[in-house]
Structure 1
Amino acid sequence: MSETRARRMWKALEPYHAISYFAPETRQATDALGLRGGWMSYFACRAAPLGQVGPEVVTAVFYNFHPSMVARALPDAWGLASPDQVLKARMEAVDHAVRRMLPDAGTVLRRTAELARQAAEVAPVAGRPIGAANAALPWPGEPHLDLWHATTILRESRGDGHVSALVTAGITPCQANITMSAAGGPSKAVYRAARRWSDDEWAEAEEDLRSRGLLAADGTLTEQGRALRQQVEDTTDALAEQGWSRLGDAATEELDRLIRPFTGAIMASGLIPPDNPMALRWEKNELPS
């Protein structure tokens, strides 16, 4: 996919947010609350800003997970820990993880956090439930945590817009995974493991795409399929661009420049695997030497 400003900023910021998914501190914190397993930890942590919602709501707004996968985690998680307890645990986990991974961030991080907060405060939230829920939370008050909170608001606002683009394009939750993989994104194996659609459901979704002229017999996207997938990505970027336009060119470019040493270090650490469901990839020449 072509790299627009909105996509470039997502790529620059996403690794800092993703600390909460991959750092062992998160699982340790949610284990201490009594949550069971990594997926219960994930769904509870990410859904906690929405309050004590059930699996139907989370399945709808997260979009591409199998409903049964969400139902195995929620609402059981709320019987073990309240959303407020989970929110506190995830922030404490991020605190410990960032201090461990970026111990010498210094004053540059403070300025980076200031700019990221400015971006988050003008990011669109109308029609974006997860983005709005995170934006409604209080700011932590420490630069490294404010930066994480800002990157979370920004990526969830963008993600909500992405769901809208998929729905508009008529791409179902399972097909979102299929078309992204076929477009050169994460491998089919990663999506099958991380989203848990059955063989029959995956095959049915592929057959529907073939019947619509979007997927070829060999599993690659047709020209029409590539165009539709590009339309989804273009719409996602256009919806996210609203916030960057409000922030302005100078502040956006400064944030991009300041955040990359931090997020580059996170990517270089190996914390986030190269083949990941977020489709987050950094080339070797983008990583710190």
Structure 2
Amino acid sequence: MPTASTARRMFELLEPICLVTYLADEPNEELAALGHRTYWDGYFASRAAPLGRVPAEVVHAAFYSFAEGEAARHIPGAWETVAPEVSRAAWQRGSVTALRRILGEELAGSPGLVRAADLTTKAATSAPTDGRVMYAAMRTLPVPSDPLDRLWHSATMLREHRGDGHVAALLGAQIGGTEAHILSALDMDIYPAESFGRVHHLPRARLAAVMAGLRERGLVDGEGRFTDAGRETKRRIEALTDELAAPPYSALSAAELAELQDALDPITSRLVAAGSP
């Protein structure tokens, strides 16, 4: 059986492939060309597209970590501008274009990448969907035939699988979505945590209430820094997230898992060097 440490290692190898979607210009340019006015219009329209035309409340529940009302600022309005499936295709197309540019044709078309795509897809299409809303939605989409496209698609599928498990871990620890961002900011040594880019735009009263709640629970101190209990809570959440992210890799033999990690290593290294940490 794959372990939590296996899941953590695979997260480290696959996450840079997914981060290209959020850090590179090409995906945003593709979405802007469709008529999306802002980055977040395109983000919500594309990432939520596999769920179908659900209400904003469903998107908020599935995404979990956004503040109340943020999904509703984009859903369903962004889908009225551009059909969900069109946004999703543009997002994926731009992401793969960015990957190809960063990796270069030699690495993007290498036998190692083809093998990485095959094994990542084997893992990504093999896990149970029970309780995994975003992952289950992704499983309904066709798997691309192009190897680089397939690698991005399957890495993203595994990211959503992990994200579903992370939401479960947060709920089990009674950590809300905005609170989760505060804990992540402190874990990254961002201080004050309220300055973190994912929450800094929220109303001051809202952030003050979140910090007060964490302080009352003993997770942050009077200066808004981690307490020992806060660090331990964050550690437990991450450990459970890793544990819940392990099932997809049961589909791979030990030899296949080692082969996949070896094949992904030069891909990840190139992406990290280019700024996809």
Same fold (TM > 0.5): yes
Q: CA deviation at 1:98?
A: 2.3
Deviations 1:77-131 (A, max 9, x none): 1111111111221222123222222221222111110111111012342111111
The 5 A counterparts of 1:207-246 are 207-246=212-251
Which aligned runs of 4 or more in structure 1 are off by greater than 6 angstroms? none
Look up the equivalent residue of 1:108 and give its one-letter code. G
The 5 A counterparts of 1:165-244 are 165-184=169-188, 192-195=196-199, 196-244=201-249
**Alignment partner, residue 68 of structure 1:** 69
The 5 A counterparts of 1:1-289 are 4-102=5-103, 103-105=105-107, 106-184=110-188, 192-195=196-199, 196-270=201-275, 272=276, 281=277
Q: CA deviation at 1:187?
A: 6.0
SS at match of 2:159: helix
1:55–1:67 contact (8 Å) kept in structure 2:
no
Percent identity reads 38
In 2, Cα distance between equivalents of 1:221 and 1:153: 32
Look up the equivalent residue of 1:116 and give its one-letter code. T
In 1, Cα distance between equivalents of 2:30 and 2:192: 31
Deviations 1:178-201 (A, max 9, x none): 112223366656864324432211
Deviations 1:136-189 (A, max 9, x none): 100111100110111011010000100010011000111101112223366656
In 2, Cα distance between equivalents of 1:80 and 1:44: 10
Look up the equivalent residue of 2:266 and give its one-letter code. P
Higher relative contact order (CA 8 A, sep 6+): 2
Give unpaired runs (5+ residues) of structure 1.
Answer: 273-280, 282-289
SS at match of 1:141: coil
Alpha carbons of structure 1 residues 216 and 158: separation in structure 2 relative to 1, 3 Å:
same
Look up the equivalent residue of 1:28 and give its one-letter code. E
The alignment covers a number of residue pairs equal to 270
In 1, Cα distance between equivalents of 2:52 and 2:213: 35
SS at match of 1:86: helix
In 1, Cα distance between equivalents of 2:205 and 2:149: 43
In 2, Cα distance between equivalents of 1:257 and 1:219: 41
Pairwise CA RMSD: 1.9
2:134–2:160 contact (8 Å) kept in structure 1:
yes
Look up the equivalent residue of 2:219 and give its one-letter code. L
1:23–1:97 contact (8 Å) kept in structure 2:
yes
Alpha carbons of structure 1 residues 187 and 252: separation in structure 2 relative to 1, 3 Å:
farther
Deviates more, 1:20-29 or 1:148-157: 20-29
2:132–2:161 contact (8 Å) kept in structure 1:
yes
SS at match of 1:67: coil
Deviations 1:220-253 (A, max 9, x none): 2222222221111111111111222342322222
In 1, Cα distance between equivalents of 2:20 and 2:231: 31
The TM-score, its normalising length taken from structure 2, stands at 0.91
In 1, Cα distance between equivalents of 2:37 and 2:151: 28
Alpha carbons of structure 1 residues 198 and 247: separation in structure 2 relative to 1, 3 Å:
farther
Alpha carbons of structure 1 residues 232 and 140: separation in structure 2 relative to 1, 3 Å:
same
Look up the equivalent residue of 1:80 and give its one-letter code. T
Q: CA deviation at 1:68?
A: 3.0
Deviates more, 1:3-12 or 1:27-36: 3-12
Give unpaired runs (5+ residues) of structure 2.
Answer: none
Alpha carbons of structure 1 residues 185 and 261: separation in structure 2 relative to 1, 3 Å:
farther
1:64–1:174 contact (8 Å) kept in structure 2:
yes
